[in-house]
Amino acid sequence: MYKDLRITVIIPCLNEEQGVEQVLRRMPPFVDEVIVVDNGSTDRTSEVARSFGAHVIREPVRGYGRSYKKGFAHASGDIIVTLDGDHSYPPDAISYLLEAFLHLEVDFLNASRFPVRDRRAMSFKHYIGNLVLSIAMSLLYFRWVRDSQSGMWVFRRSILKDMVLESDSMAFSEEIKIEALKNPRVRFEEISILYSSRLGEIKLNPWRDGFHNLFFLVRKRFTRRARS
Ligand SMILES: Nc1nc2c(ncn2[C@@H]2O[C@H](COP(=O)(O)OP(=O)(O)OP(=O)(O)O)[C@@H](O)[C@H]2O)c(=O)[nH]1
Ligand SMILES: [Mg+2]
């Protein structure tokens, strides 16, 4: 519990046995529930996560968005905190993100990886790709978001019921922020965290995922969807 709020941390993992161990070792003690969504890993991700007391859920169909939707369905906290299983986002930041979340009185707090302080953490190509995607999202939604692709967010679980989350892929990261921004009842803020190099093997395909995310942004902005 953190100031009377139940905290759930969700970590999507595709073959992250190395990274998830480091993430779970650094998990702050006030976290009530840690959900690791194992997205069909062929390594020891699930065993390692279980050995650190995480609740492991399997999502056999690949996809970052798919993993999160599965994780959300199992979460019981008042507040959900997310981060990657590759140890690139700092678990140590969870306490100050929660403090900022409460202090700023927001419903969705995005942890921005910018400015990047550790040069090894992000290649120049990824830096430019991230910048282009964030500018595109900011222009399309009339709101400056420095890191549209960040994978670390803190939000009230209750806001999920008003969100239409369709992406099963990497575009899920921008989609959840768009859904938060679009809702006038959801207060959105962003603060910086320290981003570092990932452990384990890279899964992101920068060109494929970058263009997919860009097209997703445009399509989501200009197609009207019936609420289900
Ligand atoms: N790429 C990818 N990641 C997945 C999938 N399912 C779960 N994940 C996890 O989602 C998180 C984000 O994926 P990463 O490959 O780290 O993507 P990224 O952070 O944009 O790229 P890096 O700079 O390589 O860390 C990691 O913890 C993955 O293990 C999937 O189907 N594809
Ligand atoms: Mg990563």
Give the list of residues 6+ apart from residue 47 with CB closer than 8 angstroms, or none.
none
Outline where DSSP puts E strands in 1-138.
7-13, 33-38, 55-58, 79-82, 108-112
Residue 111 falls inside a structural domain: yes
Side-chain half-sphere of 13: how many Cα atoms within 13 Å?
A: 37
The domain spanning residue 97 has which CATH number? 3.90.550.10
Q: What percent of the chain has pLDDT over 90?
A: 94
DSSP letter at 89? S
Q: Is residue 227 scored above 60 in pLDDT?
A: no
In a domain, 217, yes or no: yes
Instruction: Give domain status of residue 1, yes or no.
Output: no
Mutate to test the pocket of ligand 1, among 84, 125, 126, 197 (most ligand atoms within 8 A of CB): 84
- How does the average pLDDT of the chain come out, rounded? 96
Q: Please check whether residue 147 is in contact with residue 134, taking contact to mean a CB–CB distance below 8 angstroms.
A: yes
Report yes or no on 2 lying in a domain: no
Question: Residues 150-177: what's their mean pLDDT?
Answer: 97
Q: How many C-beta atoms lie closer than 10 Å to residue 131's C-beta? A: 15
Does residue 172 lie within any of the structural domains? yes
User: Which ligand is closest to the CA of 83, given by its number?
Assistant: 1
Residue 115: asked if its preceding bond is cis (omega within 30°), the reply is: yes
SS3 130: helix
Cα–Cα dist 139/143, whole Å: 7
Ligand 1 shell residues, CB under 6 Å: 12-14, 16, 39, 62-64, 67, 84-86, 88, 151, 198, 202-204
- Residue 225 has a pLDDT of 67
Find the farthest-apart pair of alpha carbons in the chain and give their distance in angstroms, rounded. Answer: 46
Is this prediction's pTM over 0.75? yes
| pLDDT over 70 percentage in the chain | 98
The token duo for 134 is 């964030």
Residue 92 pLDDT exceeds 50: yes
Q: Would you say residue 62 has pLDDT above 60?
A: yes
pLDDT digits over 170-200, tens only? 999 999 999 999 999 999 999 999 999 999 9
Residue 205 belongs to what domain range? 7-222
Own/partner contacts of 40-45, CB < 8 Å, gap of 24 or more, are 40/14, 41/13, 41/14, 41/15, 41/16, 41/17, 42/15, 43/15, 43/16, 43/17, 44/17, 45/13, 45/14, 45/15, 45/16, 45/17, 45/20, 45/85
> Is the residue at 165 inside a domain?
yes
Q: What pLDDT, on the 0 to 100 scale, is given for residue 228?
A: 39
User: Which pLDDT belongs to residue 204?
Assistant: 86
Number of domain units in the chain? 1
Tokens of 30: 């006030």
What are the tokens at 107? 């419903």
Q: Domain for residue 48, yes or no?
A: yes
Residue nearest (by alpha carbon) to ligand 1 atom 6: 64
- Tens digits of per-residue pLDDT, 205-226? 899 999 999 999 999 999 876 4
The pLDDT tens digits of the residues spanning 99-142 come to: 999 999 999 999 999 999 998 999 999 999 999 999 999 999 99
- Please report whether residue 228 resides in a domain: no
What's the CA gap between 111 and 134, in Å, rounded? 14
